[in-house]
Amino acid sequence: LAKTTQPISMDSYEGQEVNITCSHNNIATNDYITWYQQFPSQGPRFIIQGYKTKVTNEVASLFIPADRKSSTLSLPRVSLSDTAVYYCLVGNAGGTSYGKLTFGQGTILTVHP
């Protein structure tokens, strides 16, 4: 399972764009990159998943360079409610063939007024 490295914490202000980068140098050919969000005392929530280039949905964008050794989650115009822990997961469609998700420590994003 590819190891991921992401910043422990980040601070931002309302209305700003936030980019959280995750390193995964030993990503395998069939691995996907998946991001989850977790609010305090709640279960993780899927944000976005991608394999290469760029993926965009109504919540975020995911940028993956050609070598796939890193990825960047981009949150446009954050609000206070985006304060949460963000997890980068790398594996076969987010986990092993049986769906197991392996979470790291994640990035604590704090959005200030």
Partner 1 sequence: EPEVTQTPSHQVTQMGQEVILRCVPISNHLYFYWYRQILGQKVEFLVSFYNNEISEKSEIFDDQFSVERPDGSNFTLKIRSTKLEDSAMYFCASSVGTSGNEQFFGPGTRLTVL
Helix (H), strand (E) at residue 88: strand 84-91
C-alpha 61/C-alpha 84 separation (Å) is: 17
Closer of 14 and 105 to partner 1 (Cβ): 105
Q: Which of the residues 93 through 112 are near partner 1 (CB under 8 A)?
A: 93-106
Provide the minimum distance between the beta carbon of 76 and partner 1 in the complex, in angstroms, as a whole number.
Answer: 21
The identity of residue 64, as a single letter, is: I
Closer of 72 and 102 to partner 1 (Cβ): 102
Does 34 sit near partner 1 (CB under 8 A)?
yes
Bridge partners (DSSP) listed for residue 49: 34
